Amino acid sequence: MESNRRNLAGVLFVGSIILIDGFILVEQDAAPEDMVWIEPGTFTMGSDRGMPDERPARPVEMSGFWIDTHEVTNTEFQTFIEDTDYITEAERYGDSLVFSKVAASSLQELVPLSWWKLVGDADWRHPEGPQDSISAKQDHPVVQVSYADALAYCNWLDKTLPTEAQFEFAARGGKEGNQYSWGNQPITHEHAHTNHWQGEFPLHNDNEDGFESTAPVGSFPANDFGLYDISGNVWEWVSDWYHPRSYELDSNRNPTGVKREDSFDPNEPGLAKRSIRGGSFLCSENYCRGFRVSARMPADPATATNHTGFRCVNPNRSNSIASLWLN
């Protein structure tokens, strides 16, 4: 009898240690600040109704991952700069691309992409040039960052950039087959879903949402996964090398895109491009429509612009809070 009591006490002691250790584990592995856990699942990536490079729509199986709730802000990027003394590529080059208003009465009068100007001393601190400042835009997404700049920031936090599949899976918010992160309701001027161009791009911006360029992160409603500005505001760097037929060539489980040597942009076939996702304040109904969740765009990874930023993911850290109790 005494032996049985000792055995029971030993079992209870070991059980209490396991519980205590479990609570310590939960405390240590609490949800990362300003990140959302995306549960593993399968979704339809791409769209057969979209642009040719969004086809074919096909089922993709995804592992779970953490993703930033919003784009990296000027304040967050400044902390990184102060801690590392990192110098962005635009700062090293001494210039960068800035959107410039055009004077024309119709699209036919414009040379394609004539609204982009190479501006001296444009960088993340001065998004539109030396006369511009981020002093009143600390909560706006950082822009004028290249792919390498974005990746350096993510690495600093032991994170990385999302894949196209992770970005689209997260952007859809569980709304399978819909065009937008908020559903299928079209873009309207009366109820703004995202920061985009209102009017005929690039001739006139009605500016009905109150933001001619970037908006503070979180200014528009989050999607059903709790992610802000996953559509609109700024384009976001993702890790995939771009190819217009990626979806025919890539895996259907955690796809990561083609290799660098296979990257191909028909408009600049000699230059390997990365993909960008999500659209920006320059996307309109008559041009680009990058705010659609399946929309994708090639971009020179060494180039920075005033409408491109990023957010990070952490695919290597599990959701231990959920797994502790589910297992």
pLDDT at 19: 40
Instruction: Tell whether omega for the bond before 127 is within 30 degrees of 0, i.e. cis.
Output: no
Please name which of 78, 88, 223 lies closest in space to residue 139, comparing C-alpha atoms: 78
Q: Are the C-beta atoms of 237 and 147 separated by less than 8 Å?
A: yes
Task: Identify the pLDDT of residue 124.
Answer: 98
pLDDT in tens, 262-310: 999 999 999 999 999 999 999 998 888 899 999 999 999 999 999 999 9
pLDDT of residue 288: 87
Domain coordinates in residue numbering, the chain:
31-326
What pTM did the predictor assign? 0.88
pLDDT for res 106: 72
Q: Tens of pLDDT along 234-246?
A: 999 999 999 999 9
CATH number assigned to the domain covering 31-326: 3.90.1580.10
**Along the chain (327 residues), what's the average pLDDT of each consecutive run of 10 residues?**
47 40 47 95 96 97 98 98 98 97 76 90 98 98 98 98 98 94 77 88 89 96 97 98 96 97 96 98 91 97 98 84 39
- Pairing outcome for strands 274-277 and 296-299: antiparallel
pLDDT of residue 182: 92
Cα(278)–Cα(58) distance, integer angstroms: 19
> Sheet holding 313-314: strands in order across?
35-38, 65-68, 313-314
Q: What is the pLDDT of residue 112?
A: 75
Q: Catalogue the E-assigned strands of 76-162.
A: 95-99, 116-120
